[in-house]
Structure 1
C-alpha cells in the first residue's frame, strides 16, 4: 500500500489522554427511559418543524419533525410511545438556554415503523442516496452537527480530489469513535465507499487515525483490504482532530480564512457520521441513537454506550451509579472543548459524544483568573496561528472591528490557549462571547440595512409617483390652454349666434310667390272652417251652442288673421313692424290675437281643447287595455289628470259666468257608449256644485280630491317598483307633482284659517 506523507501542524498541546478507563468494557446499552426529550434543533441551521400533535401515538423511526430548509434535518422518534408535550425545555448549550422540544412518553414496547432497506445501495443513483440521507436526518456526529446531505453535495465549480474520514478523536476522555472503529469497522469502510461514490470517486480516500488507537487502526485496515481506501495513522497531538488541522496533516494544504475545505478540493467526514450513512442506506435506519462515552471518577461504571437520542442525562448517569457528592461538575463533551451542564435534565442529542462526570480531585474547579503576564504561551499553542493575547484584549474592550480584523472566527475553540495559560484566564470563553456578540451585531446590521433599503425604495417610489402626477397635471394644463386658444380662433373666424340665426331664417324663408300661395291656402282653409262652425245644430243644448259660438269666434279670428297677412304681403308692407315672411313676427301676431280674447273665450277655448285631448287619451287607454300594454297605468294617470284639469277649468268658467252654466242632463255611465261624454257630464255636475261654494270650501274640496289622487298615485308607484316597471320614473314624477300641489293647496287654505 502506498504510504501517505503526513505534515506537522503548528501549535498544539499534549494533555493527559485518560482514555483507558472507558475502554475496559465492550460497547453497551441501557434500558429505554420512561421519557425522551427531543429538541427541534440538534444541528446547524434552521430548527425542524413539528408534524405531530400532543396525545398522538408514534412508532420508532417515525418522523416527528420535518427539516425546514436546506440547512436543516429531520427528527425521528427513537422508540414507540405517545407525544406528551411540545414545549420549551432546557437544551445542551453553554448558556443553559431553552428551546422547543418534543417530549415522548415511551411505552417500553419499542415498536417501529416498517423500514425499507436497500440491498443494492451501491448501485443507486446519487440523487436517491442524498435524498435517503436527508430523509433519515443524518447530521455530523463529531462536530457541530452539519447536515450530511449538504456537505456531500458540493457546488459544481468545486472539484473534490480528496475524501478524509476523521477517526482522530484527539480530546481527552472521549473514546466513542475508538470503540466504533474497533467494533464496526466494516460499517465505516462501507460508508466510506458510499461517500466516495457521491463525490465522484476522489483520487485519494483516507481514514485518518491517531497512533494512540492501535486496535482501531488494525480493524480498519483489515476491513479496507482490497479497496482504494487508505488508513493512515499519525502522531498524537491535540487538536489534530480539528477538520482544518487534519486536512493539513494529511494533505499539507491549508484552508483559507473564511473558506470551507471544499474550496481546496477536500471533504472531511466523521467516522460516526459515515457509519450512520451506511446503516441509513443498507438498513433504512434513521438517526435515532449514537455512541456516547460515559466517564468520570464520580461514576461507579465507566464505558461507552449506544444511547437513544432524547434520553435525559440524569437517566444515563443514574444507570452508571453517579455520585453527585463526588462530582466537581458535569461536562458534556471533553475537558478541552466541552461545556458544563447547569441542569442534568437536558437530553442527549446528535452531537453528544461524551458525558464527563469527574471527581473534584480528577478535575478540580478552575483557579481564579489573574492578569495576563504577556508570556506568549497561548500564541505558541494556537493551532490556527492566531494571536490569542490580542484577541483577549479586544474581547475585553468589545472592539468588534479589531476582533474580526484579527480573524477571530478562525478560532476552533480547542482550548489549547486556556490550557497553557499560567494566569488561568478562560480565553475561550471570551472568544465565544465575542463571536456571539459579532453574530448578533451582523444580524442587527442586516435588519437595519433591509429597513434602510425598504425606506429608500419607498421614498423613490413616492417621488416617482409625484413626478408622474405633476407631469400629467402639466399635460392636462397645456392641453386645456391649447383647446382654449383653438376655440378662441374658431370664434374669431365664425359669425355670432345672432348672425347665424338671421342667416338661417333668411335661408329658410320662402319667396313672395310661395308665401302668397301659402297664405291663400290658409285663408281658404280658415273660411272653410268658419262655414263648418256656422252650420246649425239640431236640438242643440246650451252647452253645445256655447261650444259652437266659441268655435265660430276662433274661426273668425283665423280668417281675419290670414286675410291680414295676405293683404300685408300684397301691399308689400311689414306686418306689425316686421317682414311678413318672418316666422318670429308671425308667432308674435298669433300671441297678440290670442291676447285680445276675453277671459271667458280663453276658458271656453281651453275647455274644448281639453275635451279633445281627453277623448284621445281614453281611446289610447282602451287600446292599451286590449293590447295588455305595460303603459296602461301611466295612460290612466294621464286621463285622471285631464279630468281634473277639465273640472278645474269648468270651475273657473262657472265663477266668471255662473248664470250661463246649465244643469247637467244625468246619464248612466254604465249604459253609455261614450266614456268621454260621461266624464264631461261628471265635470259639469262638479262645476255646478262648486259654483255655489265659498272659496274656502272649494279649497277644502280640492284638498280632499288631491289627497285621494295622491293615495292612488302612491299605490301605482309601489306596484311599479315591485314589478320593476320601465315607466317607474313617470310614476315618481306624478307623485312628486301631486305632493307639491297638495302642499300648495294646504298653504292657501291656511290663509283662510
Structure 2
C-alpha cells in the first residue's frame, strides 16, 4: 500500500464513457428559480423536525428543520423567500412516491443568514466539529447519502481515510470538474476529515480517464504530505466503496460489514468540499454540482444547483429538447440511475446527474425474454454473487433464500443487466426484493414492539395487583396490632366495644319503632273522636 500498489476486484465492465459531452466546460452557476421544493428527508436515516411555518420568511442557509447528532440531518433554505406550503409532495424516487416537502417562493434577493467559520479547526473539540458538520446538513454526496458526522463519530481505530474521486459511471463528470476547479478546497476538507478520523494517512483515488483532475490534485497535494495520490484503471464499478477499497488496499469488506470494520473510512470529493465550506466559512449545504448531459440537451455541462430546484427549471437552462412520449429523464447515470416520473420533482443532496438521452443514444428497455443461463451476469458481478439465482429467488419471494445468497451485498451497479442478452432488468428485481424485505423487517419490528408493550403492561398490572394486596395485608396487620396494643394497655376489649355498639344500635332502632307505633295509635284515636263528634 505504501508503495502505491493497485490491486484488482472481480468482474466489472467497460461501457462507453461519454463524459466528453459535459466535462469540457467549467461549472456554470444556475440562475435562481422562482420556487423551490425542499424534501424533509434527503439522507439515510429519519427526518428532522420542521422548525418553520407557512408564511414565514426565510434566508438562504436558514434551517428548515432541526436535528441533533445521530438523529437525522437538518435541511436548509436554498435562497431567501417565503414558505408557501408544508405537506406531501412528489420526490425524486423511482416509485413516484410522495413525502413531506417545504415549498419556498423565492424573493430574488438571495439574502443569507450570518455565517461564522473557523480559522483554526484544530483548536476546537472534535465534538464541536462534528456538530458543525451535522448542523450544516452534510451527507455523502457520492450517492449514498449517509450523514457524514455519523460516519465520523464511530469510535474505532482507523488506518486510512480514502477520498473517492473515481466517478466511474458513464456520462457523469461532476466530481471531475470539481477536482479541476476546486482542488485546494477539496484537500482542505480532506484534511479536516483526516483530523476527525483520528488517523495520519489518507489516500486520494482518481480514475485514469481524468488526466486534468489528476494534474490539479497532484499540484495541491504537495502541501498535504499526509495524503497520497492513487490513479486506478478505468473499469466500472471501480468507484463502488467496497471495490475501491479492494483496489487500493487489497482488503475485502466482509459480507454485511462496513469499511470501518477493517480500519478504513471513505468520503467523496464533493463531501470533502462541503466539509471545508462548512468549517471554514460556516456554510450550510444548499447547493451542489449536477451534471446535465445527453443528446437531448443543447448545453450539456455541470451546474451549481440549489437544493430543491425543480428538474424542469434546470433542464430549461440546459436547453432541453424533448423527443415526445418516448423521452426519458434519468436521475443519476445510465447504470444506476432511474427514470423520473415527471419534471416537477426537485434536485436533492444526492443528485449528481440528470441524463436526458435520445432514443438513438440510449434505446428504451426491450421486452424481457427468458433466461438462457449463459452465466455472463455472474462473470461481471463485482460482489461475486449469483445474479441469476437471486432473480429466481426474488420472483419466488423466497426471502430466506435471498438472505442466504447475500442479496444485500449487491451494490445495484447494473453490470449484470448491462451484459444480459435476454434484456432482463435484474437490478429492478433486486431493488424490489430489498424493499419488500425491509418492509417485512419493519412490520416484524413493530409487532415485536407491540408484543413487548403488551407484556410490559401485563407485568405492570400484575405488579400493581400484588402491591395492592400487600398494602391491604399490611393495613389489616396494623389494625390487629393496634387492637392488641389497646388491650395490653388496659383498655376495653375491642370485641366488647363492638357488642356495645351493636346493642346501642338495636336500642335506638327499638325506640324508633316504639315512637312510630305510638304515633300511629294517637292518629287512630284522633280519627275515632272525630267520627263520634
TM-score band by shorter chain is 0.7 to 0.9
Pick from 206, 211, 215: which aligns with 1:209?
206
Partner of 2:410: 411
The residue number in structure 1 matching 2:511 is none
Q: Describe the SS at the equivalent of 1:152.
A: helix
**1:255 counterpart residue number:** 253
Whole-Å separation in 2 of the counterparts to 1:175 and 1:390: 34
TM superposition shift of 1:231: 1.3
CA drift of 1:4 comes to: 1.2
308, 311, 325: which one aligns with 1:310: 308
- Residue 453 of structure 1 and its aligned partner are, at CA, apart by 2.9
Match for residue 217 of structure 2? 220
Once residues 102 and 328 of structure 1 are traced to their aligned partners in structure 2, the CA distance between those partners, rounded to angstroms, is: 29
Distance 1:83 1:361 in 2: 42
Match of 2:132 in 1: 132
* Cα 1:466/1:375, change in 2 over 3 Å: same
TM-fit CA distance, 1:279: 0.6
CA distance in 2, matches of 1:317, 1:218: 31
Query: Contact 1:333–1:354 at 8 Å: present in 2 too?
Result: yes
TM-score w.r.t. structure 1 length?
0.63
2:356 alignment partner in structure 1? 357
**Equivalence map 1:383-462=2 (5 Å):** 383-460=382-459
Structure 2: distance between partners of 1:336 and 1:740: 108
Segment of structure 1 superposing worse, 4-13 or 444-453: 444-453
- Tell me the equivalent position of 1:50: 50
Partner of 1:66: 66
Is contact 2:6-2:232 (8 Å) kept?
Answer: yes
What stretches of structure 2 of length at least 5 have no aligned partner? 480-495, 497-514
Q: CA deviation at 1:471?
A: 8.8
Instruction: Note the C-alpha offset of 1:113.
Output: 1.2
Superposed displacement of residue 356, structure 1? 0.6
Deviates more, 1:271-280 or 1:116-125: 116-125
Shift of residue 195 of structure 1? 0.8
On the 8 A contact 2:143/2:352 being kept in 1, the answer is no
Question: How far is the alpha carbon of 1:740 from its aligned partner?
Answer: 11
Deviation at 1:385, TM superposition (A): 0.6
Greater Cα radius of gyration, structure 1 or 2: 1
- The question of whether the paired residues in 1 share the 8 Å contact of 2:116 and 2:281 is answered with yes
* Partner SS, residue 198 of structure 1: helix
Residue 163 of structure 2 corresponds to 165
Aligned to 1:17: 17
Q: Aligned with 1:100: secondary structure?
A: strand
The residue that corresponds to 1:378 in the other structure is 377
Unpaired segments ≥5 residues, structure 1: 481-496, 498-737
With the length of structure 2 as denominator, give the TM-score of the two structures. 0.88
Could you tell me whether the CA contact under 8 Å between 2:308 and 2:347 is conserved in 1?
yes
Q: 2:271 & 2:277 partners in 1: Cα distance?
A: 10
2:69–2:131 Cα contact (<8 Å) kept: no
Instruction: Classify 1:132/1:739 alpha carbon distance in 2 versus 1 (closer, same or farther; 3 Å).
Output: farther
Cα distance change on mapping 1:437 and 1:745 into 2, 3 Å: same
> Residues 539-565 of structure 1, C-alpha deviation per residue, up to 9 Å, x if partnerless?
xxxxxxxxxxxxxxxxxxxxxxxxxxx
Choose between structure 1 and 2 for higher RCO, CA contacts under 8 A separated by at least 6 residues.
2
Equivalent residue, structure 2, for 1:187: 185
Deviation string, structure 1 residues 551-591 (Cα, Å, up to 9, x no partner): xxxxxxxxxxxxxxxxxxxxxxxxxxxxxxxxxxxxxxxxx
Shift of 1:451: 2.4
How much does 1:21 deviate?
Answer: 0.7
Aligned residue pairs: how many?
Answer: 498
Cα deviations by residue, 1:93-114 (Å, 9 ceiling, x for unpaired): 1111000000000011111111
When residues 210 and 477 of structure 1 are mapped into structure 2, their CA distance, relative to the original with a 3 A threshold, is same
C-alpha contact (below 8 Å) 1:44/1:71 kept by paired residues? no
1:424-448 CA-to-partner distances (Å, cap 9, x unmatched) read 1000000000001111111111122
CA contact (8 A) 1:71 1:147 kept: no
Kept after mapping to 2: 8 A contact 1:328/1:363: no
Q: 1:11 to 1:471 in 2, by over 3 A?
A: same
Q: Which moved more, 1:327-336 or 1:453-462?
A: 453-462
Q: CA deviation at 1:3?
A: 3.6
Answer yes or no: is the 8 Å Cα contact 1:330–1:358 preserved in 2.
Answer: yes
Is 2:99 the partner of 1:99?
yes
Match of 2:297 among 294, 299, 305: 299
Superposition RMSD in Å: 2.9
**Alignment partners' CA distance in 2, 1:132 and 1:744:** 100
Farther-moved stretch of structure 1 (454-463 vs 298-307): 454-463
- Which residue of the other structure, out of 193, 196, 200, is the alignment partner of 2:194? 196
Relative distance call for 1:467 and 1:232 in structure 2 (3 A) is same
